Structure 1
Amino acid sequence: MERQQFLSTAAGLGASALLLPTQVRAQAKYPSKPVTLLVPFAAGGAADALTRMLADYVRNKRGVAAAVEYKPGAGATLAPGQVARAEPDGTTLGLYSISPFVVVPHMQKLPYDPLKDFTYIGIYAYIPIAFYVKADSALKDWAGVLQYARDNPGKLRWGTSGVRGAAHMAVETAFRKEGLKTTFVPFTGGAEAITALLGNHIEAVVSADYGPQLTSGTVRLLALTGTEKLPTQPALPTFKDLGYPLSTEAIYGIFGPAKLPKEIVTYWEGAIQDMMKTEEFATDIKAIGASPVYMDSARFTANVTENYRKIGEAIDALGFKK
């Protein structure tokens, strides 16, 4: 029932009918309370930067008391689990990244169902996930990576920003197809993995957190784990080009608990679109190697549903089970 119609009806029923439910009153004033944006990774990576962009925008331009909180670990599933348990009042939201929603649920039991327990609000950035090494590495291209792994079984050490996430599974399946034995090293965030790479503790990283290091010339990209080329480096092969079983991209946005009222979804869709029109946003995403891409709630939801199905089928075909 529309609010105007409701109030007209209530007026006819008497003053007692004007005692609106708490949820309706809260929706009318949204956002009247502080909002927490949960990040499923450790501070310092691309996910952190993208979350802070939105938090800073609504805080500075819309007066929202927005805070960023980090929940790394457990394959990036801690933050989604907390959001799933939250009240649908818009005070607890999370940053969306592909792994804990369309990859990890096929690999292990989780305290949430990606298709039932969330409201997918909006997407605002895209970053190709890359396999990269230090700029001074002896590994010059993807063919060189494969040859090194063949000649040195188990010695190629590589890490990602989350265990059993999209990056991990895409590269693991690629190496399986090539018949190679390598050593996977888990980390709780992209910044931690890059620190290990720059400290020569591992040979390569697979993540979307390479932007600043690529700009400064400290890393070299060797392959992209998705389907889309990188405009600045069109010669880089993609996993689609190479014919590997899984090819995944990194899109980022925000989500909330299931049954989030439409008014709240609309509020954040508008905030995201307004933010994406600013010069600050264009500058900030360029600095981390991201590109703007917008999906409203309906398109975002359809994207998650379709990718959940496709990646689930691929993982089952590869023999990975819960």
Structure 2
Amino acid sequence: MTSFASRLPGLLGIGLLGLALLAQGQPAAAFPDRPVRVIVPWGAGGTSDLSMRKIAEIAARGLGQPVVVENKPGASGVVGMAEMAKAAPDGHTIALATGATVFIAPNLRQVPFDPQKDLTPIINYSGSYHGIVVPAASPWKTLADLLAEAKAKPGVLTFATAGTYDGGHFAMLVLSRMQDLKFVHVPFQGSATAMTAMLGQHVSFGVISGFTEQVRAGQLRLLALLDGDRMEEFPDVPTLREAGIDWEYPSIMGVVGPAGLAPVARARLEKALGDAAATEEFRAYMRTIQMPMRVMDGKAFEAMMSRELLRYRKAAVDYGIRQ
């Protein structure tokens, strides 16, 4: 009779082989297997924060896990984006991306991430309108009025933005160099706090987003839009180009992950966020906060990011803005 001890090596070999074959036939661990964290690199209460919270709420239903939004403002989004870029590429930490963070900041100064090497575009779903707004009591009725005052009083007029080197600030740097004007920049940590300063008339004007309700209520006057197209809400307000300033800021609002994002995670996130963006619930919410739908899948979003990075790089060099 063969002893158990003599048969043990063979049994172990068969067992290990069986486990290996079983493992090969098993799918990868389900994603997500825990809550997904979304870093919003701007302060709470602004349009980027509000829209991300809503799409996260809806996307969580498709993912089967909570999607938790965490605000990490600072340095025009660089602080939060840098933290996300260092996260494990398993899809459980992603971030909201705006033009200020992925187009502008990397072209103006050293930042701790490369938008083309360290980020994985997942989806773009919107982009807030940015405009030049003044208090309703202001004597300036048009952008030309404001620029004439700035010409007459160099270094006197102050303007608020959502942060240093955000889309509004960059547009004003370009405009200042084009028109040989001097303004005083007053940066805030998000559009909500910049709006508060505007309404309190602590600054001469603002170059911000999220102004629709205040303009409609007669608290602010919209002089020009930074976007390439006019707003349906205010069809008589010109874009910067129409007002004679050869610049535009095609705002984005998308979601990115770290470099090397796991394909399964990227596909599931793109689908869940895309499905959420397509719901009437989300579209209705976006209408209430006056934000347009600008949906791009990951591939289109990645191509757009590459184009805009080059455009901003050229502008930074041409106008001597790069630090």
Mark the CA change 1:235 to 1:212 in structure 2 (over 3 Å): closer, same or farther. closer
Pick the structure with greater CA Rg. Answer: 2
**Structure 2 SS opposite 1:106:** helix
TM-score by length of 1: 0.89
Deviation at 1:281, TM superposition (A): 1.2
Aligned partners of 2:62 and 2:272 also within 8 Å: no
Partner of 2:95: 94
CA separation in 2, counterparts of 1:187 and 1:260?
32
Q: Give every structure 1 segment of 4 or more consecutive aligned residues whose post-TM-superposition deviation is greater than 6 Å.
A: none
**Structure 1 SS opposite 2:313:** helix
Alignment RMSD: 2.1
CA separation in 1, counterparts of 2:213 and 2:117?
36
Partner of 2:19: 15
CA separation in 2, counterparts of 1:66 and 1:266?
16
CA separation in 2, counterparts of 1:170 and 1:316?
14
Deviation at 1:235, TM superposition (A): 2.5
- From 16, 24, 28, give the equivalent of 1:25: 28
Partner of 2:276: 275
Aligned partners of 2:56 and 2:273 also within 8 Å: no
Deviation at 1:252, TM superposition (A): 0.6
Aligned partners of 1:246 and 1:311 also within 8 Å: no
Aligned partners of 2:129 and 2:210 also within 8 Å: no
CA separation in 2, counterparts of 1:12 and 1:298?
42
CA separation in 2, counterparts of 1:213 and 1:88?
41
TM-score by length of 2: 0.89
Partner of 1:254: 255
- Name the amino acid aligned to 1:173: V
Where structure 1 has 5 or more consecutive residues not aligned to the other structure, the ranges are: 1-10
Partner of 1:74: 75
Aligned partners of 1:52 and 1:68 also within 8 Å: yes
Aligned partners of 1:170 and 1:245 also within 8 Å: no
- Name the amino acid aligned to 1:14: G
CA separation in 1, counterparts of 2:182 and 2:315?
21
Partner of 1:45: 46
Mark the CA change 1:35 to 1:215 in structure 2 (over 3 Å): closer, same or farther. farther
Deviation at 1:62, TM superposition (A): 4.5
- Give identity over the alignment, percent: 32
Where structure 2 has 5 or more consecutive residues not aligned to the other structure, the ranges are: 1-14
**1:85 paired to 2:86:** yes
Aligned partners of 2:63 and 2:268 also within 8 Å: no
CA separation in 2, counterparts of 1:190 and 1:85?
26
Aligned partners of 1:97 and 1:253 also within 8 Å: yes
